[in-house]
Amino acid sequence: MTSTKSGALDAYRQMSTIRAFEERCLELGTEGLVSGSVHVCCGQEAIPVGAMSALGERDRVVATYRGHGWAIACGVPLEPLLAEICQRAGGINGGRGGSAHLAAPQYRLFGENSIVGAGVPIAAGLALAADARDEDAISLVSIGDGAINQGATGEGLAFAAARNLPLVVICESNGWSELTPTATMMRASITARAAGYGIEAHEVDGCDPAAVEAAVAAAAATARQGQGPVFLECRTVRLLGHYNRDIEHYRPKQDRAFAEEQEPLARARASSELSEEQLDAADAEARAAVDAATEAVRAMPEPDPAEAREHLFAAPAPDGATVEGEEGPGEELTYQKAVNSALREELANRPELLVYGEDVGGAGGIFGISRGLQEEFGAERVADTPIAESAILGSAVGAAMAGMRPVVEIMWGDFLLVALDQLVNQAANVRYVSRGELQAPLVVRTQQGVTPGSCAQHSQSLEALLAHVPGIKVGLPATPHDAHAMLRAAIADPDPCLLFEARSLYQVKGPVDLEAPLEPAAGARLRRRGGDVSIITWGTMVAPVLEAADRLAERGVAATVLDLRWLCPLDLDAISEAVALSGRVLVAHEANLTAGFGAEISAGIHERHFDELDSPVVRLGAPDSRIPAAPALQRALIPGVEDILRCCDELTGATV
């Protein structure tokens, strides 16, 4: 170490505390006080200690699942930190995050991440928020060397480079990608690969806290000057296994010996900079602090099971959210222009709103949804991005956590599949794991469904997949008015919202009440009332269902039409009313039938309203098939008006 003696002693004291803490975690895991895996950072203590010495109070940190050292260096007290790892009620997250997914934003730690590489796009989003607010702040994210091979890492670096974001990426390069030597998985060096993104990249002695501090200070200064991001490969060692039960049967003895020689505490003792008495006193102080925390944690209760479902959303869906009847008078707009109008209104009224995605800025979106918005609100608020869905979604998570309200576009619903981690593992967990200390009020707009000529990779209906994920709200606007109203509701909502629009609806015209009061992100629309049959539907099927209802009415069959609009939260009161109106129910959707959301609706009706049914619920959807490009083949698969009438005939005995 090359710092002053007082600085060196303080760094050693912090590193010793981290080492004692990690060793105690392993002991408690063996004892059974910790359930599950523990990933300790023994040998890598110099990196968080040195890095945090160079950061300011407004800077933010995202760590890997090996992040206990980062938590301690950020200032998280040992007692709630250890309690979290032991899954106790007094944990920093009440036992929700555990060892590998804890968060302490009040101490600048915006979370560990158990998904390799996923933190880079999120940290880019934190940096995006700082940049948008012109804050003198950077974000720092740590990754392991194995994360260099993850797509999310590359996308996050590309995104940050394109926006010159104030981001510092630290690779804690210990030579191992879990149980595999990193060198066997790469042809170029880690630093060279990072430099390939056109960003500043350096190798650093990661076993020297002073060297790390100097490198991070220089990188942070570069990032603050608008010349970021900066990548630092901190070369370090791993003293122990990948996780607490790793016996390291695969590891050469010479590699372990090298690690024991180079690890930062051993190097400090081998140096003449600090006396043995100083080092021994620091070690004793560290052990005493860890012992005190351990004693307190042992006395803590486990979390209250009654609280297990709390903090999934900011608040439960409001009562009385069902909308009655068709849309009223309003300005005649296409669905496309209705979405554009909602974005324009919210951009004008919310300075924290950001709109971005592939081709969203200069071109106005491939479907013209954001046309004219960049000219009106500037390229900083309405922006193009690299073709990098993980970076788009992950940065939205980070920016939302930092107080922005991003609205991002994923061009086709099918493209969500290359980046689902950032929705399912990241956005959906933010509020829950942090017990509301963090939130992610983001909106993802996409479009889905079949259009003539659309191939199997541009035509899937994926709403059931996303509605299955607790923590995400899912809506499907079917008309221009609802496209406007539901987007405004989603933007105002404090939780992640996903809106599935439809290319087939973009040019459909209808009345839009631009002066309508703001709705909650909840509530179905009861479009028709009838006592003979009830049709429950959503999205692209609403129009053919209404046409079928008109044809039924011509021959005296009165149909209830319930447009669910939001699949999560689900309007159970509206479904109950629809069942009660007729006792005969058809659930219709464009998605294929097996495991479609109609199965959930049908099962729920049979469970809650069995005695009110005159016959079993009938489901209508596409057959279990891929979607061909040829319109003639598509028509053979996608349900239409005649199919709806046939199903109603089965339920009512009417003549179709």
pLDDT of residue 6: 74
Contact 197, 157 (CB under 8 A): yes
Q: Could you check whether the bond before residue 569 is cis, i.e. omega within 30 degrees of 0?
A: yes
Q: What is the pLDDT of residues 586-641, one digit of tens each?
A: 999 999 999 999 999 999 999 999 999 999 999 999 999 999 999 999 999 999 99
Whole-angstrom Cα distance, residue 496 to residue 470? Answer: 11
Strand partners, 509: 334
Question: What number of other Cβ atoms are within 10 A of residue 260's Cβ?
Answer: 12
Q: What is the CATH number of domain 525-652?
A: 3.40.50.920
Task: Give all strands (DSSP E) within 71-148, no chain letters.
Answer: 139-144
Q: Using an 8 Å Cβ cutoff, are 199 and 229 in contact?
A: yes
pLDDT tens per residue, range 354-409: 999 999 999 999 999 999 999 999 999 999 999 999 999 999 999 999 999 999 99
DSSP structural state of residue 186: -
This prediction has a pTM of: 0.96
CATH code, residues 333-512: 3.40.50.970
410: β partners: 446
Residue 18 contacts by C-beta under 8 Å, 6 or more apart in sequence? Answer: 41, 45, 48, 49, 68, 69, 72, 73
Clarify whether 458 is annotated catalytic. Answer: yes
* Residues recorded for the chain: 656
Per-residue exposure over 442-460, b if at least 16 CB sit within 10 Å of its own CB, e if not: bbbbbbbbbbeebeeebbb
Q: Where are the domains of the chain?
A: 5-300, 333-512, 525-652
Residue 114 is predicted with a pLDDT of 94
Which residues contact residue 253 at a Cβ distance below 8 angstroms, ignoring those fewer than 6 apart? none
What's the pLDDT score for residue 320?
Answer: 77
CB 265 within 8 A of CB 15: yes
Going by DSSP bridges, is the β-strand pair 167-173/139-144 parallel, antiparallel, or unpaired?
Answer: parallel
Low-confidence ranges of the chain (pLDDT < 50): 1-2, 655-656
Give the bridge partners for 475, in sequence order.
Answer: 499, 566
Q: What letter does residue 335 receive in the DSSP assignment? A: H
The tokens describing 567, both together, are 């699949």
- Euclidean distance between CA atoms 654 and 644, whole angstroms: 12
Long-range contacts from 160-163, C-beta under 8 angstroms, 24+ separation: 160/120, 160/124, 160/127, 160/199, 160/228, 160/229, 161/197, 161/198, 161/199, 161/229, 162/385, 162/386, 163/124, 163/128, 163/131, 163/383
What is the pLDDT, as a whole number, of residue 654? 58
Q: Which of 68, 458, 481, 484 is catalytic?
A: 458
**Residue 173: count of CB within 10 angstroms of its CB:** 26
How high is the pLDDT of residue 439? 97
**Extended beta strands in 403-481, E state:** 405-410, 443-447, 473-475
Rounded distance between C-alpha atoms, residue 561 and residue 9, angstroms = 73
CATH number of 5-300: 3.40.50.970
Matching fold, domains 5-300 and 333-512: yes
Task: Please state, in angstroms and rounded to a whole number, the distance separating the CA atoms of residues 587 and 494.
Answer: 30
Task: List beta partners, residue 142.
Answer: 170
